[in-house]
Amino acid sequence: MEDFESLLASSAQAHGHLCPGQVIGVRMAMLGCALVGLDNPRSLPQLKKLIVYVEMDRCAADAVAHVTGVKLGRRSLKFMDYGIMAATFVNLETGRAFRVLSTEESRDLAALYAPEVVGKSAQQLEAYRRMPDEVLFRVQEVRVAIDPLDLPGPTRRKTACIRCGQIVRDGKEVHTPEGPLCVPCARGAYFTCVREVSVNEALKTGPSKILSSTAHRA
């Protein structure tokens, strides 16, 4: 694995800026990988041995993904929407897993570790570079029971929703007495469908016009 400073530099570039979250995320990932015994997770064969669960969609999550090389599209990155500054590193080969949590104390201690730095964000950034792992993180050895349907590899199952016909992959359908449903049909979704439009109509009319014409009718 590259050293901390070069990982931080490339992570900040990929993320878009250098921030305290990049420092925490890079260090979290380096520690997590060391704990599960993977020193080169971005290349084969280790690339196929690591799954990471991130528990926040904040700056640090990008750094964790960057350093470890895990990706949503490879199913090696799992997002758990907990709002907790933590990530769990699972070695699929050994089955060992460690959850690394960023401590709240580290925020309070930033002034102690970088007293000469002015500005909260700059002070945190520098302090998080200097803090020992034991101050910056808590670590739990954990067990993660990964459903075989959630593992990397080809799609294992496809099911059609009996209400809308949509194909649902990898066992994500909801089983009901009537039959399998997609999640939007079974539980509602993050969106409400205004109406179905053809791609050509949508491109010609433009999104604002489609919305306003619909708003007019409503």
Can residue 29 be called a binding residue for Zn ion (CB under 5 A)? Answer: no
Q: Which of 59, 70, 77, 100 contacts Zn ion by CB under 5 A?
A: 59
Q: Lay out the site mask for Zn ion across 98-137 (x = CB under 5 A, - = otherwise).
A: ----------------------------------------
Residue 215, amino acid: A
Q: Which stretch binds Zn ion (CB under 5 A): 30-38, 57-65, 119-127, 129-137?
A: 57-65
Question: Residue 70: which of 45, 91, 42, 94 has the closest Cα?
Answer: 42
Q: Which of 12, 161, 170, 173 contacts Zn ion by CB under 5 A?
A: 161
- Token pair 């101050």: residue: 135
| Cα dihedral 120, 121, 123, 127 sign | positive
Can residue 163 be called a binding residue for Zn ion (CB under 5 A)? Answer: yes
> Do residues 32 and 71 touch, judged by C-beta distance below 8 A?
no
Q: How far is the CB of 206 from Zn ion (least distance, A)?
A: 28
Q: Which stretch binds Zn ion (CB under 5 A): 16-24, 33-41, 80-88, 103-111?
A: 16-24
Total residues contacting Zn ion by CB under 5 A comes to: 9
Q: Which stretch binds Zn ion (CB under 5 A): 56-64, 91-99, 102-110, 198-206?
A: 56-64
Can residue 23 be called a binding residue for Zn ion (CB under 5 A)? Answer: no
Q: Count how many Cα atoms sit within 13 Å of the Cα of residue 134 in the half-sphere of its side chain.
A: 0
Q: How far is the CB of 54 from Zn ion (least distance, A)?
A: 14
Question: Residue 126: which of 14, 34, 31, 22 has the closest Cα?
Answer: 22
Instruction: Return the number of the residue (164 or 197) whose C-beta is nearest Zn ion.
Output: 164
Q: Which of 12, 21, 65, 77 contacts Zn ion by CB under 5 A?
A: 21
Instruction: Return the number of the residue (4 or 96) whose C-beta is nearest Zn ion.
Output: 4
Q: Which residues bind Zn ion (CB under 5 A)?
A: 19, 21, 59, 161, 163-164, 166, 182, 185
